[in-house]
A and B are shown apart, each in its own frame.
Chain A
């Protein structure tokens, strides 16, 4: 197990290095730079700015500096948010996205799995049909529509939640719900399909024939097997959800990391783009690793040598 984890960590480091290199190349090949402006052009000033930000150095030199700095955990200074390090900015924005993401992940897993099981048990009955209609809607209606409707009703008409931000705490409800809608719908369907498949297996019939209670059949036997595809999906899903959504953060006025990422790309804030990309990459790699380890506990057939 330890050996397996070590192997995975090494693979992860290579992945992250590759992502950094790719990001660096892409970022430097798109037109525009952090100092491009629509102002009157002044040659002396442009030179001074290039010198200050090190943009006049050859790309290879800048690339090496990135890698070395990152190896030391230093993500560098933001080009555009004067005097702030990338680490500080991520540290300020991430907690919001993380909190929303964790609550949303909880909702997704609990409600998604439950709804999936219920639908599977009541296959083709009203409850099943009804849940499937809901999940289709949830997966197809874009999140900004949900977000706007939510704010219109609960903030504007009813005045129950703030129009923006997370103060008071009721401000979290909307973003969490809207964030979870899509994945919840997906997990419901995933769980339903795989549950139906498991319930038709021979060993379930055997278990039932042995007179085991239906509750036990469902929770101990069928669910344990049926949940495997969900576990696979949940790893990257958690990584995606906790790294924030640009749209949702924008509509709900939340100072999270999702909107930060988009704005840094648009303004060509190189250090911020790199910092957030690497941060996301590390997070995703970590989540997948956790899922792989979790498999061992969920499915005793899997053993890592």
Chain B
């Protein structure tokens, strides 16, 4: 009897102990937020830098890379002809290059450098890689990286041409020549991306997945793969064969895959994670105020609404304009996204550059983009919006039919949609219903044009106008269903929109043009877009990164949002 009582008491104590521990700290959660961040850091220099990716990269075979985390890892372990630095690009494996007067032929002169297995990197490796990118059997999701630019690449992918006709050729061991379909002033920047990094044929021949095994992995960048555990982490260590290995100070990087935002932030605060961009959006404002380790960098991307121009109600451009003008964009960036996003007044973000490096978007004295196309960054134009809606046959919103706003599952998108819903209700007296779908489903719904309005976003791999604009061209599978002619990319779309013709022509003209004329054409394309309004810009993207400066210095973020660890070094 005694024994049993003792046991019961013990058991009960253990249970209540763990439970009370849980309940008690609920109250001091708000107060304890920042207190613990300081006291654990900087005890001893860690062995490796811990970088939380937040997700498992699908691959780091450069040719097959098609998502952000893959790009991060690829860029850390491979190097292309040019390489990204904090404020642009620098020569990479190509020491120098010549560009023909018509802007079409690029001749790259390669430096003598090695693969991580000690064999030389040659122009033949680049030829092999670039042709592999458009090989239909490889079916690289990023094939557009060559098919958009290089002569013969699109034909090879479509099966109407051969590999030999792809104009990316090794003239000798250290000279690589590329012939473009159109002059592309941003080409040197474009090829600093992950997908253009060389791969070694002998490795690739081992079959897909060669990059995931340390035995078959060979790279040419500052770090190389030392360990990979599915779903957990990958360890990259300094590559001693890298041509600039002497300047690499970081012994290695442990890239982990903790995807819970709160857990990631706690890991950072506990000093277990040194670098990450995975953090809860709602914590960003307080981090911005209190933690100098948080950096916010504008990137080339726009959050916008897709208007289904084939929809019965939305097909009226006056309705689209009314909806566009009735939004207070600054309220969304200040109260919902709250991470330094910039309210949008046009489709092209401030980070898109003209040929001379200046921006397509002029910024006003108040730090916001200048008003454009009737849109002011920090105020809705309610009067005009109401007038347009009345002209469309819905005075004061009366008789406005049921319209749905589609978004993907996700807390922040949901909040944006709720805010929009409220603004439209207040300013136009119309009720828009919200519809939530899982991302894979929503993408299909939008491709098929079975929606009214959809929340979308687009970020470009490079800060050229074309990268942002191209998703509205005829053969892009444009989700807004904006097409002047039928196209194989959207066999269902029989409702044609003649307004898109002028845009298409401008797009094609811009692709063929150079210099100022090209810049002008991109602005013209944006103007058509903003007049026809298949899309309504809301804000421009930023990227946020926590870098624990007490532990590491020299970690950089490139203009396209890539992490650069070449100059990283532990604080002694």
Contacts and interface: CB of A to CB of B under 8 A. Distances in A.
Contact of A44 (B64, B159, B447): B159
Contact of A163 (B1, B147, B270): B270
Contact of B476 (A41, A80, A152): A41
Contacts of B21: 149, 153-154
Given A36-B444, A149-B25, A155 B266 contact: yes
A84 B230 contact: yes
A14 interface: no
Interface stretch (A65-73, A113-121, A291-299): A113-121
Given A40-B470, A122-B8, A134-B15, A157 B32 contact: yes
A152 B25 contact: yes
A225 to B, nearest CB: 19
A267 B56 CA distance: 13
State the majority secondary structure of interface residues on A: helix
A156 B230 contact: no
A48 B440 contact: no
Contact of A134 (B16, B207, B232, B458): B16
Interface stretch (B256-264, B354-362, B515-523): B256-264
Contacts of A106: none
Contact of B210 (A83, A214, A260): A83
A32 B25 contact: no
A118 B207 CA distance: 60
Nearest to A255: B231
Contacts of B402: none
Interface stretch (A195-203, A204-212, A234-242, A245-253): A245-253
Contact of A131 (B12, B143, B273, B456): B12
A81 B56 contact: yes
Interface residues of B, number: 80
A39 interface: yes
A43 B258 CA distance: 35
B229 interface: yes
Given A121-B4, A127-B12, A268-B440, A251 B147 contact: no
A130 interface: yes
B11 interface: yes
Interface string B112-123: 000000000000
Contacts of A159: 36, 40, 270
A83 B208 contact: yes
Contact of A164 (B16, B154, B258, B447): B258
B231 A253 contact: no
Contacts of B259: 250, 253, 259
Interface in A154-175: 154-157, 159, 162-165
A153 B24 CA distance: 9
Given A39-B141, A114-B11, A253 B267 contact: yes
Contacts of A48: 136-137, 139, 143, 157
Most-contacted residue by chain A among B144, B272, B456, B475 (CB, 10 A): B272
Interface residues of A, number: 70
Contacts of A80: 58
Contacts of B19: 134, 137
A92 B439 contact: no
B141 A49 contact: yes
Interface in B490-526: 490
A4 to B, nearest CB: 38
A161 to B, nearest CB: 10
Interface in A80-100: 80-84, 88-89, 92-93
A92 B21 CA distance: 34
A38 interface: yes
B379 interface: no
Contacts of B471: 40
B58 A42 contact: no
Contacts of A252: 263
B44 interface: no
A270 B7 CA distance: 50
A118 B438 CA distance: 47
A255 B257 contact: yes
Given A41-B447, A92-B231, A52 B137 contact: yes
A51 interface: yes
B443 interface: yes
A265 to B, nearest CB: 9
B144 A150 contact: no
A93 B11 contact: no
Given A36-B444, A114-B7, A255-B257, A156 B270 contact: yes
Interface in B22-46: 22-26, 29, 32, 36, 40
Contacts of B475: 41-43
Interface of B: 1, 4, 7-8, 11-12, 15-16, 18-19, 21-26, 29, 32, 36, 40, 56, 58-59, 61, 64, 66, 136-139, 141, 143-144, 147, 154, 157-159, 207-212, 229-232, 256-260, 262-264, 266-267, 269-270, 272-273, 438-441, 443-445, 447, 456, 458, 470-471, 475-477, 488-490
Given A111-B11, A159-B40, 15 more contacts: A32-B438, A33-B440, A36-B440, A36-B444, A39-B141, A42-B143, A42-B147, A44-B157, A45-B143, A89-B231, A93-B230, A118-B8, A152-B29, A165-B258, A268-B440
List 6 A-B pairs, minimum CB-CB distance, nearest first. A83-B209, A41-B477, A32-B440, A255-B231, A82-B59, A92-B230
14 contacts: A33-B440, A37-B443, A42-B489, A45-B141, A45-B157, A48-B136, A83-B208, A92-B231, A93-B230, A115-B11, A153-B22, A157-B32, A165-B258, A250-B260
Interface of A: 30-33, 35-45, 47-49, 51-52, 77, 80-84, 88-89, 92-93, 111, 114-115, 118, 121-122, 127, 130-131, 134, 137, 146, 148-157, 159, 162-165, 177, 214, 250-253, 255-256, 259-260, 266-268
